[in-house]
Structure 1
Amino acid sequence: MHRHSVGAYLLDSSSLESDLGVLVDDQLTMSQQCALVTKKASGILGCIKKSVASRSREVLLLLFSAVVRPHLEYCVQFWASHFKKDEDLLERVQRRATRTMRGLEHLSYEERLRELVLFSLEKRPRGDLINAYKYLKGGCREDGARLFLVVPSDMTRGNGHKLKHGKFQLNTRKKFFTLRVTEPWNRLPGEVVVSPSLEIFEACVDKVLCSLLWVTLLRQGGWTR
């Protein structure tokens, strides 16, 4: 409520702040950031559809992965959507992109993701896990010591490097990176967690997530390969 001024000029107050391209409101809901990202990504996808004659999955998937999806995932560890309506808004862009690829028009969205080996934007564990590795095992371990609390290895089963799930009072906190990454990290096999380098960790995580994707889609769709 304080009024700031520069010389004799009073500055207007605002409930929205832009930091490194991410819009943050005073409620930390990230809805306006989701709308902004969706608009940018949709515009780029529209340009691709108008300027690229090919409808092959090889061409369009490459373009989507290179110039559209990065907008949907930029700094998402910070601004992960809090509401279903925002998640649906982001997911709509990927739905449109996969629908335009030749040979996939008759398939459902889940089947198209399976064919293209893509993950739903609603569940983005890969980026979270990679960043968690940087904080816990990589070059950001000093910061990670302040962000995460590691459970002693003699008190855990599984990977031996599990994280303690912190307590929170505000419902918004459960979407924060340090809380939502705890469960997927704790589920990783021990040999993945102790990977000697980030490159090896990424390759191992891709294998784990791909296997989980197949199992999930098979259960949801009721079909076999």
Structure 2
Amino acid sequence: MHARQLTCDVYGHVGSTASKCSLYADDLKIYRTVGSNVDVQLLQADLDGIVNWCNLNAMTLNAGKCFHVKFSRKKKTLVTGFSINNISLQQLTEIKDLGVIIDKKLTFKPHIDNVVKKAARSLGFIRRNTKGFSHNTKIILYNALVRSHLEFASVVWSPPYHIHSQRIESVQRTFTRNLAVLASGFSHRQPYYQRLSEFGMLSLRNRRIVTDLVFLHKVIHNEVKCSDLLEQICVRVPRLYPCRNNTNSRKIFYIPRARTNLGRQAPIFRICSEYNEIFGIVPGIDIFGNSLTIFRKKLIDHLSVRSSVE
């Protein structure tokens, strides 16, 4: 067995007596809050326990493929070192986990840089090799070869900063402009939202909102079975009977206050905030009562109309 990723994470539960772990195929990650040398020793003890278990079961850990990374936004972090079979583990500043590049400060900037570069390269390939193709064919190829890069696992890494969102959107802006150049009776100088309407597309930002809220619907209805995420979803209960004109009465989910942008953009809180914004605006939308098909359709219809007036 090759434990490719043994990850030290400073986000967890302080004071826990054992590290948490995540296992996907042959990739094992263990993690815990590391705030003192005692925590370092406890994490190393857990690593030693894994090594002992492997030895008892005639399995071999490849220490050369194992490493550790510390997630923290502090300028100075605790100096740590971990080993397997007396072989020191390499410390990295970013890792690629299930297709998503995660940096030590959780900005996801390296991942965004990577997907924009891949998407731009794929878009260039389509432009060079689809001369004479119909618009519908080009859109199908774009969705499959370009947009797929820009949307994979976006629930996790959705850009918190406008500048990163615009970099992602620029790829689709370029594609719709190229389509408009070849379209009859439609100028490529038309604004982006008009080009989207002309070709029946949503902006990538709006598509990420749909993906986020569909994911929230699945978590609430137990289609995505994750008790840790479900525990973070808090329904807002007002102290007094809400007035009809009270804006807060339309906020279904409670969002805890956060001092940093990282806290505000934590995936589940970001998604709940997005639902709070559209609840009461979209007629008949109900994340608890609507089926997934109806819920998704109402979202797309609303976002399509909103894009046309932006």
Unaligned runs of 5+ in 2: 1-78
Q: Which amino acid aligns with 1:132?
A: L
3-state SS, counterpart of residue 149 of structure 1: coil
- 8 Å contact from structure 1 (residues 82, 175) kept in 2: yes
CA distance in 1, matches of 2:226, 2:83: 38
Which of 94, 109, 128 is the matching residue for 1:16?
A: 94
Shift of 1:148: 0.7
Q: Which residue of 1 aligns with 2:195?
A: 112
Q: Which residue of 2 aligns with 1:176?
A: 266
CA distance in 1, matches of 2:202, 2:127: 22
CA distance in 2, matches of 1:37, 1:198: 28
- Give deviations 1:55-83, integer Å, cap 9, x for gaps: 54322222212221111011111101133
- 8 Å contact from structure 1 (residues 128, 181) kept in 2: yes
CA distance in 1, matches of 2:161, 2:167: 10
TM-score under structure 2 length normalisation: 0.62
Identity %: 24
Q: Which residue of 2 aligns with 1:79?
A: 157
Does structure 1 residue 165 correspond to structure 2 residue 255? yes
- 8 Å contact from structure 1 (residues 160, 190) kept in 2: no
CA distance in 2, matches of 1:201, 1:141: 19
Task: Call closer, same or farther: CA 1:203–1:195 in 2, change over 3 Å.
Answer: farther
Shift of 1:130: 0.6
3-state SS, counterpart of residue 285 of structure 2: helix
3-state SS, counterpart of residue 29 of structure 1: coil
Task: Call closer, same or farther: CA 1:138–1:6 in 2, change over 3 Å.
Answer: closer
Which of 150, 155, 166 is the matching residue for 1:88?
A: 166
Q: Which amino acid aligns with 1:147?
A: Q
Moved more, 184-193 or 169-178: 184-193
* Higher helix content, 1 or 2: 1
CA distance in 2, matches of 1:161, 1:190: 15
CA distance in 2, matches of 1:161, 1:35: 34
Task: Call closer, same or farther: CA 1:155–1:47 in 2, change over 3 Å.
Answer: farther
Moved more, 204-213 or 159-168: 159-168
Shift of 1:14: 0.9
Shift of 1:126: 0.8
Q: Which residue of 2 aligns with 1:191?
A: 284
Does structure 1 residue 211 correspond to structure 2 residue 296? no
CA distance in 1, matches of 2:306, 2:254: 23
Shift of 1:133: 0.9
CA distance in 2, matches of 1:86, 1:40: 15
- 8 Å contact from structure 1 (residues 168, 174) kept in 2: yes
Which of 198, 201, 214 is the matching residue for 1:130?
A: 214
3-state SS, counterpart of residue 181 of structure 1: helix
- 8 Å contact from structure 1 (residues 41, 69) kept in 2: yes
Does structure 1 residue 149 correspond to structure 2 residue 243? no
Shift of 1:167: 1.3
* CA-based RMSD: 2.6
- 8 Å contact from structure 1 (residues 138, 198) kept in 2: no
Shift of 1:89: 2.0
Q: Which residue of 2 aligns with 1:64?
A: 142
CA distance in 1, matches of 2:125, 2:170: 16
Task: Call closer, same or farther: CA 1:119–1:175 in 2, change over 3 Å.
Answer: farther
Q: Which residue of 1 aligns with 2:37?
A: none
